[in-house]
């Protein structure tokens, strides 16, 4: 799930994500925003899968399933 954090102090709790990204089968431990492309996020975790997302649409741009034999830590 991805939340939009406002620039100001919110007057209420932020409970609704702007989008839910579904693609990993285990916990995600690494997230990294692309340094120049807007809405592009990389996620990796316990299922040994790396996914590059278009966060604006929720679309998987690239999924690397068989590239790594072990849990990704960094």
Dihedral, CA atoms, 27, 55, 6, 31, nearest 10 degrees?
A: 40
- pLDDT of the residue at 65: 86
Q: What is the pLDDT along the chain (74 residues), one digit of tens a residue?
A: 888 877 877 677 778 888 999 999 999 999 999 999 999 999 998 888 999 999 999 999 999 987 767 666 66
User: CA neighbours within 13 Å on the CB side: how many for 32?
Assistant: 12
Task: At 18, list the tokens.
Answer: 């702007």
What does the domain layout of the chain look like in residue ranges?
A: 28-64
- pLDDT of the residue at 11: 73
Give the whole-angstrom CA distance, residue 25 versus residue 47.
Answer: 6
- pLDDT of the residue at 10: 67
- pLDDT of the residue at 68: 67
Q: How many whole angstroms from its chain centre is CA 57?
A: 12
């Amino acid at each position: 799930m991805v939340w939009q954090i406002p620039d100001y102090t919110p007057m209420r709790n932020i409970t609704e994500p702007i989008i839910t990204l579904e693609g990993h089968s285990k916990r995600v431990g690494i997230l990294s925003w692309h340094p120049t492309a807007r809405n592009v996020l990389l996620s990796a975790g316990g299922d040994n899968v790396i996914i590059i997302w278009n966060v604006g649409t929720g679309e998987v741009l690239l999924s690397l399933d068989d590239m790594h034999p072990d849990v990704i830590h960094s």
